[in-house]
Structure formats: structure tokens, C-alpha cells
Amino acid sequence: MNPPLRRVAMALLLMFGALFANATWLQVVNAGDLRTKQGNTRVLLNQYEHQRGPIVAGNVIVARSVATKDRLKYLRVYPQGEEYAPITGYYSVTLGFSGIERQENSILSGSDDRLFVRRLSDLVTGRTPRGGTVKLTVNPKAQDAAWDGLQGKVGAVVALDPRTGAVLAMASNPSYDPNTLSSHNARAVTTASTRLNTDRRKPRLNRAIEETYPPGSTFKVVTAAAALESGKYTPDTVIPAPTQLSLPQTNRKLKNFGGEVCSGSGKMPLKDALRISCNTAFAALGLRLGADALQATAERFGFGRAPLELDRAAASVFPSNLNPPQTAQSAIGQFDVRVTPMQMALVAAGVANNGVVMKPYLVKELQGPDLAPLSLTEPKVLSRAMDAPAASALTSMMVNVVNNGTGTAARISGVTVAGKTGTAQHAAGAAPHAWFIAFAPAQNPVVAVAVLIEDGGNLNREATGGRVAAPIARAVIEAVLGR
């Protein structure tokens, strides 16, 4: 064979080799990723041949499949519609899937390896294949209270069991009806999806975990934790609380909300500074503690990572490389501090759980089509934010906020509630965001909650966390406690 023919033969051999290698990669190595890739219509069509398993919260079915008479044998329906949409997501032959539908697809579809024996049995007996069941941690009464509290407002609510990290409620408003996206009418689904994507209210945005906001004064809980954990402060330590705080390296002065005077003497105990939410006191405290201590404490509470593995969950941020003026502002939850409502629920839960932050989770149990248990979620420690004595001291300070301070709207007769209000400035001329975080019962907590209302529910100057967000938190706590 002459040299030109040899070169052509070698080139063809290499091309065929590359073709076979690519086919092997696609069919063997990458097969799993392709099979589960969102929008893989061929796989979705096959999965519509049998009944997809339900998603259940308590005794409430929040997603199920019903038989149809069209080409796709089953239709996915969501009885609660908008209320659970941020949790369930949607299952659509046109759009793919999201939320728990995506996260637990292998169980719901019946394709999970743990269901192999069941699939084999179905094949032998001729029994119609079915998917497994996903049982959520959500408390339906708490979810109802969160959803009802958000009506007419833009915001989110997260409630956790501080002892385990189980998500008891996660609501976001405005929301969307996933039934419009699960339809078998591709044109109707596309129209509905386009309408949702162009809606300025962003109804498909899960504000509980996907959006970050300035936390305002709720961040003072983190600053107080840093102070108590340092060993240099107790709740009774007297700290500076001037009417105005001159920010270092600038000509600017930091003031209290509404220009209020915290103390005629310019000083007050740390516990009282938290009780009345004194900006100047906590800004000065932040300067004394330093940016590194604030950042380290924030990260121990979970900042810097997305704590819940669900779709587009965002990480909360405490900024790095702060100068003194930025440190002072960050200590009161302003400047570039950004948090999700989930993160602030974790802050409350960490204090409630003796300083230990548990990893949040939404799935309580996975079951086979015959309801036989496949797995039960075991609680996991995310981090230790502070030691137990410091957490106990901070709990007493937060109880004082509810009993005698800015959080009185969260009081519950016969129940000791610990909480903290927040009123976060975010745009010139806009009403501040209203926040409230809390846990109860304070000495034996079973629920921790965070409430965010964007733009204070449009109440302008009346838009404070204590006025707008605290009543919603109270309702959620009452629902969990069965009151």
C-alpha cells in the first residue's frame, strides 16, 4: 500500500475508533445522565405508561397520577395547586420536572434500583407497574397557616423542627398552579409556561430558598451569638448605645430606625439592645467584634452554602474583606449581607437546639408501591454555631424580645416564644422588607420559623417585622403546637 493510501486508511481507522468510543460513552458511561436529563421526552413517554407514585404530606396527598383515555395513560395532578407548588414542583411531558418530582423521580417513576425486585415481579405476574411513594416532613396544618398568612403579600415562610432539621412548612407567594404545566396539551403548557416566565411577580420563584434578601435586624441574633460565644459578653454586659454612631473613615452617621433614642445615657445592657433592636448598639458591637468574628459565626450557622438540596437553592452570603464602616452596617444585617428565609429559619433553629444546626430536609420516608419502607431519613448535624451556655443566654434574650420588646405580636398564651424582628432597608423610596424569626416553646423547642414579607406588605412606614411578619410566625407556631 502506498503512503497516501496508508494515511487515508489510518484516518478512517481513527474516525471509526472515535465513533465507537463516542457510542460506548453515550450508551454505557453516560446512559444514566441521559436517561434522567430534564426534557428527555422519550423517557417521559415511557414513564407515562404506568402510574407514578404519590407525594404525601401527613395524610394529605399533594401529588398523584390519575388514569386518562388519551395516548398518555396517566395525568399528574396537584390537588392543593399553588400552596405546595414550591415543594412538589411539576411533572410535565413538555417541560420535564422540578422540585420533589425531580429530586425523587427514580422512586416516583418506579425506576429506582431498590425497586428492581418489584419490577421483575410485575413483569412475571403481568401486574401493572407503579411508582413508589414519597412522604414529606411537611405538617399540613403548619403549611396551611403559612400559606394563609401570605395571602395578599409577597414573601415566604419556612418552619423547621430544630431538633432534626425536618421542614414543617415552606410556602412562597405568589405561587403557580402546577396543574397548568402537567397538562398533556403541549400548546396549553407552553402558553402557561410563557405567561409564568414573563409575570413580573415571578410566581415560579421559590422565595423560601431561591432568593436572597437583606436580613435587617434579624441578623443581630448572629451578632449577639458572636459576642456571647467570644466569652467577653453576657446578656447583662453594658455596651455603647449612642443616638448616632459615627462610622469610622467616613463623615457618615448611622442612626436607629425612625431616628429613635435607644438610651438617654448612651449605654445599655446587651439584652436590652436586642430587646428594642438598637442599631447603633449592634453596629458598635460589630466593630468591636470585627468582621472576621461575624463572618465565622455566620458560616457556622450555614452561610456560604445552600442548605437544602432542591432545584435552584441559593447560598446566603456574609461579605468578605469588609472595612470598618461596612462591618458596622453588616452587623445589623445591612450592606451586602444576603440571606434566604430558609437560612434565617436555620439561625433560629440553631439557637433553639442548644447551638447545633441540623441539616434541613423535606423527605421523611420513601416507600415502595406496596408501601413497604425503602428508606427513612436520618437527621444530620450541619454545624455547631455556638456552645450550649451561649445558646441558652441568647434564648433568654430572644424571649425578652417577644415578652417585652419589638416582637410582642408573636406572644402565645401559655407558651414561651423566643423571637427577633427585622426591618430591612433595600431600596430608596421603597418600604423595607419585614422579617420575623422565632422558636417555641423556648425551653423545649419543637418549631423554629422565619417569615419574610417583601416591601413590608406595602404598609410603607408601618412595615415593621413586628407588625407584619410576627403574626404569621405566631400562627405557624400555633398550628405546629396544635393550638
Kind and range of the H or E run holding 64: strand 60-67
Asked if residue 174 has a cis previous peptide bond (ω within 30° of 0), the answer is yes
Which of 92, 98, 217, 277 does the annotation list as catalytic? Answer: 217
Angstrom distance (rounded) from CA 43 to CA 111: 11
Answer yes or no: 183 catalytic. Answer: no
Angstrom distance (rounded) from CA 378 to CA 346: 18
Angstrom distance (rounded) from CA 449 to CA 240: 31
For 71-154, list the strands marked E by DSSP: 74-77, 91-92, 96-97, 133-136
Beta bridge partners of 77: 64
In this structure, the strands spanning 244-246 and 253-255 are: antiparallel
- Alpha-carbon dihedral sign for residues 73, 78, 82, 84: negative
Phi-psi region of 54 (alpha: psi -120 to 50; beta: other; left: phi over 0): beta
C-alpha cell of residue 421: 424582628
Closest to 399 measured CA to CA, from 388, 385, 415: 415
Beta bridge partners of 384: 356
Neighbours of 251 (CB within 10 A): 6
Could you give the C-alpha distances from 315 to 33, 307, 344, in angstroms and in order? 25, 7, 12
C-alpha cell of residue 70: 388519551
Of the CA atoms within 13 Å of residue 308, those in its CB half-sphere come to: 31
C-alpha cell of residue 98: 422540578
Kind and range of the H or E run holding 22: helix 3-24
Active site residues: 217
